Structure 1
Amino acid sequence: MGRALRNIFVAGCVLLWLIPLYLLIVNALTPAGGYTGTPDWAPRGFAILDNLHIAWSEAGIGQSFLVSLLYSVVCGAVAVLVAAMAAFAVVVLPVPRPAFWFWLIYSGTLFPLQMFLAPLFGLYADADLYDTRLGLMLVYVAWAAPFAFFLIRNQMTTMPPEITEAAMLDGASFRRIFWRIHVPLMSSGLGAAFIFQFAAVWNDLLLGITLSRSPEVQPVMAALMTLNSAYSSSGPPVILAGALIVSVPTLLVFLLFRGLFLRGVTAIAR
């Protein structure tokens, strides 16, 4: 009985996820001029290529797509590297009060992002970082690093301290221990942390609309919101086609690296 209820619950969750996806795809197929104003449950045409072309080229999703890809890959990788170094310092290095440093870094995930927007906007305006790619990349790294630090630190605490002690007896420096021992042993956890941060940066809207306005700087979620207002007269099919474009990278990352992600989550949750 319990297993049947669990299966029914899982099937319901799957349906709740698949129904909006089905409606998105079906209505993205509809010609923009033939949209009636109500969602279609069955395809009424095959204008997906035209809608994708309008969203990618004429509405500028393509440029923002490539910019967001840059932000997600570079900022996600840098955030994971910084988090791994911070976790190594807190767990392995003989720093005073490691618990204090852990909570100081982890506190970056505890406060709502909205409370930082006003001072961050003023700081960026004064420092000429507003509406620049460098400015967005800096804030994305700072925003993503605390949670990555939490994940990596959890895995690093499970590693036997005898490994570090043996390496130190052989004369290895802390830098060598980090790069030659800890990084290879934590490769799955680092990969899982990168996937989390890639998705977080890719899906960001709040920082994108607050700290940028130019099409060549705006991330893709901000461009999708602009598409919603600029092409509202064309009907939802063009906007839904843009949403399809935006959803592809995170879906591909999880599908291609699902094995690495599952191994990393398992290692972190031990």
Structure 2
Amino acid sequence: MGRTVRHLFIAGCVLLWLIPLYLLVVNALTPAAEYTGKPEWTVQGFDLVENLRTAWNVAGIGDSFQASLLYAVVCGLAAVLIAAMAAFAVVVLPIPRPAFWFWLIYSGTLFPLQMFLAPLFGLYADANLYDTRLGLMLIYAAWAVPFAFFLIRNQMTTMPPELTEAALIDGASFRRIFWRIHVPLMKAGLAAAFIFQFTAVWNDLLLGITLSRSPDVQPVMAALTTLNNAYSSTGPPVILAGALIVSAPTLLLFLVFRGLFLRGVTASAR
């Protein structure tokens, strides 16, 4: 009985997730000129290619898509690398008060992002970083470090200290121990942290609309809100086609690397 209820609950959750996705796809297929103003539950035409072309080229999603891809990949990799080095320092290096440094770095996840927006906007305006790709890359990388640090540090604490001790006895430096021992053994955890940070940066809206305005600088989520305002006269099909474009990278990333992601999350949760 308990297993049946659990399966029914899971099936209900899956159905609640699939219904909006179904409506998204069906209405993105509808020709914009034939849209009635109400959500369609059945396919009324097939004009997806034209809707995608309008969203990508005419509405400018393409420029923001490329910008977001740059932010998500570069900032995700930078954050994971910095977080791995910080975790190595806290767990392996003989630094004083490692718990203090752990909480200092991890505290970056404890405060709401909204409280930083006003000082960030003023700082970026004074430093000429507002509406620049460099400015967004700096804040995205810094924002992504604390949670990546938490994941990687948790996995690193499960590694036996005898590995480091044996390497030190053999004359290896801490730099060599990090790159030759810890990084290869933590590939799954590093990959999971990167997927998390890629998704977080890709899905960001708040920083994007606060610190940028140009189409070639704005992240894709901010551009999608602009598409909703500027192209509302074309009807939802074009906007929904833009939503399909925006959803594709993270969906593909999870589908392709789901096995590596699950192994990394499992290792970090031990």
C-alpha displacement at 1:63, in angstroms? 1.0
Matched length? 270
Match of 2:63 in 1: 63
Match of 2:171 in 1: 171
Match of 2:105 in 1: 105
**Using the alignment, how far apart are the partners of 2:48 and 2:190 within structure 1?**
37
Over aligned residues, Cα RMSD in angstroms?
A: 0.5
Match of 2:264 in 1: 264
- Partner deviation per Cα, 1:107-130 (whole Å, 9 max, x = no partner): 000000000000000000011110
Please tell me the residue identity of whatever aligns with 2:7.
N
**Using the alignment, how far apart are the partners of 1:118 and 1:256 within structure 2?**
38
- What SS does structure 1 have at the residue aligned with 2:261? helix
What residue ranges of structure 1 are gaps of 5+ in the alignment?
none
**Using the alignment, how far apart are the partners of 1:183 and 1:239 within structure 2?**
42
Runs of 4+ in 1 over 2 A off after TM superposition: none
Match of 2:233 in 1: 233
Please tell me the residue identity of whatever aligns with 1:174.
F
- What SS does structure 2 have at the residue aligned with 1:171? coil
C-alpha displacement at 1:223, in angstroms? 0.5
* Mapping of residues 10-89 of structure 1, within 5 Å: 10-89=10-89
- Partner deviation per Cα, 1:206-261 (whole Å, 9 max, x = no partner): 00000000111001001101000000011100000000000000000000001110
Please tell me the residue identity of whatever aligns with 1:201.
V
**Using the alignment, how far apart are the partners of 2:103 and 2:37 within structure 1?**
51
C-alpha displacement at 1:33, in angstroms? 1.2
C-alpha displacement at 1:35, in angstroms? 1.1
**Using the alignment, how far apart are the partners of 1:215 and 1:56 within structure 2?**
12
Match of 1:138 in 2: 138
Please tell me the residue identity of whatever aligns with 1:85.
M
Match of 1:94 in 2: 94
**Using the alignment, how far apart are the partners of 1:254 and 1:30 within structure 2?**
28
Q: TM-score, normalised by structure 2?
A: 0.99
**Using the alignment, how far apart are the partners of 1:26 and 1:258 within structure 2?**
27
**Using the alignment, how far apart are the partners of 1:44 and 1:236 within structure 2?**
14
Please tell me the residue identity of whatever aligns with 2:176.
R
Q: TM-score, normalised by structure 1?
A: 0.99
**Using the alignment, how far apart are the partners of 1:110 and 1:9 within structure 2?**
32
Please tell me the residue identity of whatever aligns with 1:250.
T
**Using the alignment, how far apart are the partners of 2:51 and 2:90 within structure 1?**
51
What residue ranges of structure 2 are gaps of 5+ in the alignment?
none
C-alpha displacement at 1:266, in angstroms? 1.0
1:159 maps to 2:159: yes
C-alpha displacement at 1:34, in angstroms? 1.1
1:211 maps to 2:191: no
C-alpha displacement at 1:131, in angstroms? 0.5
Identity %: 82
- What SS does structure 1 have at the residue aligned with 2:104? helix
C-alpha displacement at 1:103, in angstroms? 0.4
